[in-house]
Structure 1
Amino acid sequence: MEIMAGDQPQHHFVLVHGMNHGAWCWYMALTLLRLAGHRATALDMAGCGVHPARVDEVLTFQDYSRPLLDALAALPSGDRESCSSRTATAAVGRAMAATSDELLAYVGDDFFMDSQDFEQRNPNISGRPFIFGPEFMARKVYNMSPLEDLNLGLMLIKPANSFTTNNSEEVVMRDENLLTAGRYGSVRRVYVTVEHDRAIPVGFQRRMIAQSPGIEVEGIAAGGADHMVMISRSEDLAELLVRIAGGRGTVRASKANDSVA
């Protein structure tokens, strides 16, 4: 990798994966950010990646998010920039689960193709664990990513609970008063649009943005970006994250065998 860091300030990026995935999916963007002189931490949410919890041991979204909450709590104030999707698209005074509900209504019942539900072994968790199917992954999630990364994803994804069903134990995702104007609304939020994302269609991306007043919007302009933009356009995403965070350096890939700082 060739990095042109210049005199840019250092940032700490905390990278959070999406449904069924793990910290592993950030391997390319994380490397570029570190080689550019930044700190980058990719986390496994509970029950995902190499995290030791089983899916039937993760009762709530708060349990699922505990690795992220603990990691952020341990950082000095101001020593981080986070990149995730679930909270970045939620509006003040709106339950986080509302976005998932509306996406399901927007795309229809057949959208997830060969994806599967599994038997729920824990009666204290509403709904069933869910995993993306191979055809869905190939056609809508990794549709512009290298074939080797699709195959890596197919080997590493794991079932996960969605935490969007009504459940007496699940208060975080359904709490309309959780995201307040004074706290969540006061934090800078940036949504990165991806025109050819087939897992979250661009029309629905625009709807989420419209429902989130005050959110900034950036886009991956280059072609070839899919839902897994951290893989399909890792260099473009890393440069965009650095620019959003206020850095002035350039991230540029060249040699694959350079050392990682």
Structure 2
Amino acid sequence: MDRRETKMRHFILVHGMCHGAWCWYKVASMLKSAGHRVTAVDLAGSGVDPRRIEELRSFAEYSQPLMDAMAAAAEVDGRERAIVVGHSLGGLSIALAMQKFPQNVAAAVFVAAVMPSSSNPMSCITKEFGKKGWEKFYMDSKFSISHNHNQIPVSSIAFGPHFMSDKLYQHSPPEDFVLATMLVRPGRLFIEDAMIDEIATEKSSYELVSRVYVVCKDDKSMTEEFQRWMIERSPGAEVKEIEGADHMVMLSKPKELFDLLMEIASKYY
């Protein structure tokens, strides 16, 4: 038997906006059953993390749980390398991890995710995404404005059930959709944080890491067209596809995503 097939890998899974580590339960179970180590991260103000998203001072603070997971992995003889998987807005967090821990990322996997580059920073991605019209696109979702510790206004969004059903979970099992409506929390895009435009600009570290982009072909949120728009502006990523996958591919097509992660790990680990 090929030793690559039996070697234990470490997968770090990062959720998207308003979600939490819980959304990875199917894929995490498959990975663990296959003998791999899995760290599913709750970013700050997400999942079971006790902080409120409005209290966070920066995107860096929001992403700190991922940085902590990366630092912990790096402490294993200083050589452990993980497959880091980011979904949706989680792509921006894993891009930050790529900058800070390039030597500890075997491959970065962007799953229907934001993928910035030096020529296509987050502000450009947000502008392109916003062309569809924020309020119309987000349907029954609720936007709110609050103030952080410096009294700077910050915007947040709470996903509405009709938006989730139509744009995110249209192919996912109904029980997963119902569970998600109970578990999602308000989220932020951190558009007021200038630091997000600095992510992926350090080519010396960011471009050292192998990147794979997983296109979800039936995604009605990050549409296939929008995903390929980002891929074109961030050259160098290997591209994979999952047919019939909605935005929440880890719930609608978990086996297909698991199989791709196994393929990626065998190639890049």
Same fold (TM over 0.5): yes
Gaps of 5+ in 2: 96-109
User: Per residue, is there more helix in 1 or in 2?
Assistant: 2
**Residue of structure 2 aligned with 1:179, choices 194, 201, 206:** 201
- For 1:229 and 1:190, the matched residues in 2 are separated by 16
Give the Cα–Cα distance (whole angstroms) in 2 for the partners of residues 208 and 200 of structure 1. Answer: 10
The residue type paired with residue 171 of structure 2 is: M
Could you say which structure has the higher strand fraction? 2
SS at match of 2:60: helix
Deviation sequence 1:134-189 (CA, Å, 0-9, x none): 11100010000011111111000001221013xxxx2321327x522211012101
Matched letter for residue 60 of structure 2: Q
Correspondence for 1:51 among 49, 52, 71: 49
One of 86, 110, 113 as aligned partner of 2:139? 113
| Contact 2:140–2:160 under 8 Å retained in 1 | yes
Q: Which has the larger radius of gyration?
A: 1
The 2-side partners of 1:42 and 1:64 are apart by 15
Alpha carbons 1:190, 1:216 under 8 Å: kept: yes
- Looking at structure 2, the residues matched to 115 and 48 of structure 1 have their Cα atoms a distance apart, in angstroms, of 17
8 A contact 1:164–1:174 mirrored in 2: no
Which residue does the alignment assign to 2:107? Answer: none
Letter in 2 for 1:226: D
Task: Report the 3-state secondary structure (helix = DSSP H, G, I; strand = E; otherwise coil) of the residue aligned with 2:210.
Answer: coil
Distance across 2 between alignment mates of 1:235 and 1:125: 43
- Counterpart pick for 2:221 among 174, 199, 210: 199
Equivalent pair of 1:179/1:185 in contact (CA under 8 Å): no
- Residue correspondences, number: 236
Q: Tell me which of 227, 236, 241 is aligned to 1:214.
A: 236
Map residues 14-163 of structure 1 onto 2, 5 A cutoff.
Answer: 14-76=12-74, 77-84=79-86, 85-86=91-92, 87=95, 88=110, 89-105=115-131, 107-109=132-134, 110-122=136-148, 124-163=151-190
Deviation at 1:54, TM superposition (A): 1.5
Residues of 2 paired with 1:98 and 1:62: CA distance?
A: 19
Structure 1 residue runs of 5 or longer lacking an equivalent are: 248-261
Conservation of the 8 A alpha-carbon contact between 1:30 and 1:40: yes
Is the 1:190–1:218 contact (alpha carbons within 8 Å) kept by the matching residues of 2? yes
TM-score norm. by structure 2 comes to 0.82
Specify whether residues 7 and 193 from structure 1 end up closer, same or farther in structure 2 by C-alpha distance, changes over 3 A only.
closer
Percent identity (aligned): 40
Query: Within 1, Cα distance between the matches of 2:38 and 2:201?
Result: 26
Instruction: Find the aligned partners of 2:55 and 2:119 in 1 and give their Cα distance.
Output: 29
Query: C-alpha separation between the residues in 2 aligned to 1:41 and 1:230?
Result: 15
Indicate if the aligned counterparts of 2:21 and 2:42 stay in contact, CA closer than 8 A: yes
Deviation of 1:121 (Å): 4.2
Q: Which has the higher contact order (CA 8 A, sep 6+)?
A: 1
- What is the SS of the residue equivalent to 1:130? strand
Distance 1:24 1:132 in 2: 16
CA offsets 1:31-84 (integer angstroms, 9 cap, x no match) = 000101111110110000100111222111001000001110111334311000
